Chain A
Amino acid sequence: MADLTSNFIGIKSPNPFWLASAPPTDKEYNVRRAFEAGWGGVVWKTLGSEGPPVVNVNGPRYGAIYGADRRLLGLNNIELITDRDLFTNLEEIKRVKADYPDRAVIVSIMVPCEEAAWKAILPLVEDTGADGIELNFGCPHGMSERGMGAAVGQVPEYIEMVTRWCKQYYSKPVIVKLTPNITDITKPAAAAKRGGADAVSLINTINSITSVNLDSMSPEPSIDGRGSHGGYCGPAVKPIAMSMVSEISRGDDTCGIAISGIGGITTWRDAAEFMTLGCGNVQVCTAAMTYGFKIVQEMISGLSEWMDSKGHTSIDDFCGAAVPNVTDWNQLNLNYIAKAKIDQDLCISCGRCFAACEDTSHQAIAMSEDRTFTVIDEECVACNLCVNVCPVEACITMEAMTPGATDPRTGKVVQPDYANWTTHPNNPGATAAE
């Protein structure tokens, strides 16, 4: 059986599945339950400075987007950092870590962007025995309006500065959590790296309004008839998160920094995908909030089984394995030519491929009187829309043409060599190929 042990920037855990800093990790009771269920680590819900804690709204904190059968696809929240007393949290962290020495306990922190504030809290956190800290530079609501959270994460200079303070006043690993509410994720990641961060974690939640109540005209979640943007998370954000992770993995100024992947991770497969894009471990929140802590058992068994099937003995074997294949569009092989192919034995004749292609694409699918659907190779540009809308898995596939064959659409012979846009004759800026 594959070894799922994780050593992320020197922090060891029995598996790479951590719970992200969020409501599930707000207090000792939940965290103990999480560890009993099998989670490898937790990032404790963000602590603020000493003094009266923040207050949360007393109405709904979450809004949701549903798929079929009310399957939760996306969740947003307007909850703030912990609203419990700092010292209560610190005592609990200390107790839990002492009882679960093999699990990772990371403390998320968000205090004002002043050196004194960080200097004050870091020794207190150090004293808990926790394994590291995560700097919450991502929370997009409430705290950002007070100059913290995403308000810091959107200014690379602040990230670098605060990270330096943390490395100066704290002896253990420092993880910088990044906000996706920014144009270029590599900028804050590079700033964290310059500041000495051991790792970045991403993504935090995305600014969002999940829905509008068409009766009351209030955004949801609605607090007494009004709503505010909240942080979006859950399966819906996974593609955005993976793209940002990949940019950091292959960015000139960012590659090499350890990454803790966050964003809609719901199954072992999601986790594996993040890890192939360069994440040393992953953090989960929405899936746990949707199904409870037990899901980690599926994640453990699934990842283990997949690793066995691929011959991976440790998670390092596949971490970053997909990164070399992430490239810019102008590096894609324009000589690669594929055609859609419909497996008539699998086809159930719903005609969705036809409607999609005929109405919105290239008119490359023919429909017969008896509802047989076939691809017209002369028109097919291999856009993949038919594959995407087909309700039957593997019914429509994209088949690569063999070099030497003639593409009936263009009348040109498929070339065996690789050629991209940079040298394409239609590119005004193309450099001469000779």
Chain B
Amino acid sequence: MTSDVFEPGIKAGRLAPDILEAQFSDLHPPLDAHEALVAADRCYFCHDAPCITACPTDIDIPLFIRQIATGTPDAAAKTILTQNILGGMCARVCPTETLCEEACVRELAEGKPVLIGQLQRYATDTLQSKGVHPFSRAAVTGKTVAVVGAGPAGLACAHRLAMLGHDVVIHDVRPKPGGLNEYGIAAYKTPDEFAQGEVDWLMQIGGITLKHEVALGDGVTLDGLQSKFDAIFLAIGLGGVNALGVEGEDKNGVSDAVDFIADLRQAGDMGSVPIGRDVVVIGGGMTAVDAAVQAKLLGALNVTLVYRRGRDRMNASAFEQDLAASKGVRIVTHAVPVAVHGNGAVREIEFEYVDDAMKGTGQTLMLAADQVFKAIGQTLQSDGLPDLEGRKIMVDEAGRSSVKGIWAGGDCASGGDDLTVTAVAEGRDAAMDIHKVLVG
């Protein structure tokens, strides 16, 4: 440990470059060929397998695992990608412990599920590393579809539509495609520029044009898109970030966790990303954990994740919570922020303990903080959109919005659970419905 970790304030390069490189390496190193065979052999090839039911994209898991076990990982990849074109990313970021692997009968039998996520990665990596794109386009239909948002839902929708012969233009606000895959996921979950590689691979289908740095109301309008395209798919995600609503929130050093996570992903050199000595993350979801863990990996001395309810209510899975704890993140529950203290920059943050009904107890907690990350949820920036349901675009099962010709999916749409894999499923299914409408 260098003395840099003890220095107060927000500073870059707290850890030596080689340590940083190791810290941010692959969370789950890939299985090698033999490990994959051994892991695949544990699959029982269940009848009407529970893991398939548990997968939001309905991947035929026993089939692809058997294809791995019999030495045909490319066929396995095709089985996966037919259902989930972002199967490579999902293999890395899916909370498999609450999806397929939780449903695995071997989890029930021995508490050790088949390593479905890692096997999926083995298959998709094997195929994608060859640069092979296993799908081809149908005859061009002449129909055009505008997709807004190049995240998982938008990409999945665009790929399926392109495959069916439609011409697709994706409009995205960011300079790079991928959405949260590129900007919103911890670096150690998808190192080595995987997200961009996956998009490049996906684009090999042809028929998809990417337009960057255009957003609804900034370069394009819904009306304009409607006049130019036969259908529109909105996959704009949740662009806004919830505020704490407490005194001192505007002090220097207080920022949004999503921006920190995006900065880390875009930083070529982790040593260039400044981090506090005493970091506090507020929130209980995956974003909060991703921020807290990466703060620790960057060399923050003390990282505290503070959540207003109990650990059982955290949106971050038990695996994520354990990961945070194993990296040295302290998790404080049943506490809500009441004030940010400091002279210009944050120095301390004050919490009040609350009961299960969120009622204040009068007991307070003061945490030293030179950096505070807010991760208490994102919101839809909803001006001029179709009708909402709650705080999201209202859609039916097929993804149709209240406006004819406009579909929506992913985090911006009602239903779903804000998972990458769910977004992919919604994009894919909306594409199938759009196709049905366009070609009759």
Contact = CB atoms under 8 A, between A and B. Distances in A.
A352 B49 CA distance: 10
Interface string A291-312: 0000000000000000000000
Interface string B231-266: 000000000000000000000000000000000000
B45 interface: yes
A176 to B, nearest CB: 41
A349 B105 contact: yes
B41 A350 contact: no
B47 interface: yes
B106 A351 contact: no
B46 A69 contact: no
B108 A349 contact: yes
Contact of A348 (B38, B45, B47, B105): B105
Contacts of A70: 34, 37
Nearest to A391: B44
A202 to B, nearest CB: 33
Interface string A330-354: 0000000000000000001111101
A68 B47 contact: no
B97 to A, nearest CB: 18
A367 B108 CA distance: 18
Given A68-B41, A69-B38, A69-B41, A348 B48 contact: no
A349 B38 CA distance: 22
Interface string A229-267: 000000000000000000000000000000000000000
A352 B41 contact: no
A313 B47 CA distance: 48
Contacts of B34: 70
A362 interface: no
Contacts of A355: 47
B290 to A, nearest CB: 34
B285 interface: no
Of A69, A350, A355, most buried by chain B (CB within 10 Å of CB) is A350
Interface residue tally of chain B, by bracket?
A: 10 to 19
Interface string B103-143: 00110110000000000000000000000000000000000
A233 to B, nearest CB: 23
A348 B106 contact: yes
A349 B50 contact: yes
B41 A348 contact: no
B38 A352 contact: no
B122 to A, nearest CB: 16
A352 B45 contact: yes
Interface string B86-106: 000000000000000000011
Interface in B34-79: 34, 37-38, 41, 44-50
A391 B114 CA distance: 14
A355 B49 CA distance: 11
Contact of A352 (B37, B44, B108, B109): B44
Contacts, number: 36
A392 to B, nearest CB: 7
B115 to A, nearest CB: 14
Given A68-B41, A69-B38, A69-B41, A392 B109 contact: yes
A349 B109 CA distance: 9
Contacts of A392: 109
A371 interface: yes
B44 to A, nearest CB: 5
Contacts of B45: 352
Contacts of B106: 348
Interface in B133-169: none
A252 B38 CA distance: 48
Nearest to A68: B41
B44 A371 contact: no
A349 B44 CA distance: 11
B41 A354 contact: no
A68 B38 contact: yes
A351 B47 contact: yes
Contacts of B108: 348-349
A344 B37 CA distance: 31
Contact of A371 (B37, B50, B109): B50
A241 B239 CA distance: 71
Interface in B1-56: 34, 37-38, 41, 44-50
Contact of B47 (A69, A350, A391): A350
A391 B48 CA distance: 16
Contacts of B44: 350, 352, 391
A355 B47 CA distance: 6
Interface string A358-378: 000000000100010000000
Contacts of A348: 105-106, 108-109
Nearest to B34: A70
A305 B49 CA distance: 42
Contacts of B50: 349, 371
Contacts of A350: 44, 46-47, 105
Interface in A98-115: none
A350 B109 CA distance: 10
Nearest to A351: B47
Contacts of B38: 68-69
Nearest to B48: A351
A68 B34 CA distance: 10
A70 B34 CA distance: 9
A349 B108 CA distance: 9
A76 B44 CA distance: 29
Contacts of B37: 69-70
A349 B50 CA distance: 9
A68 B47 CA distance: 21
A354 B48 CA distance: 10
A222 B210 CA distance: 53
B171 to A, nearest CB: 44
Of B37, B46, B108, most buried by chain A (CB within 10 Å of CB) is B46
Contacts of A391: 44, 109
Contacts of A352: 44-47
Contacts of A69: 37-38, 41
10 contacts: A68-B38, A348-B108, A349-B105, A350-B44, A350-B47, A351-B48, A352-B44, A354-B47, A355-B47, A392-B109
Given A349-B46, A350-B46, 11 more contacts: A68-B41, A69-B38, A69-B41, A70-B34, A348-B109, A351-B49, A352-B44, A352-B46, A354-B47, A367-B47, A371-B50
* Among all A-B residue pairs, the 7 with the closest Cβ atoms: A351-B47, A355-B47, A68-B41, A348-B109, A348-B105, A350-B46, A350-B105
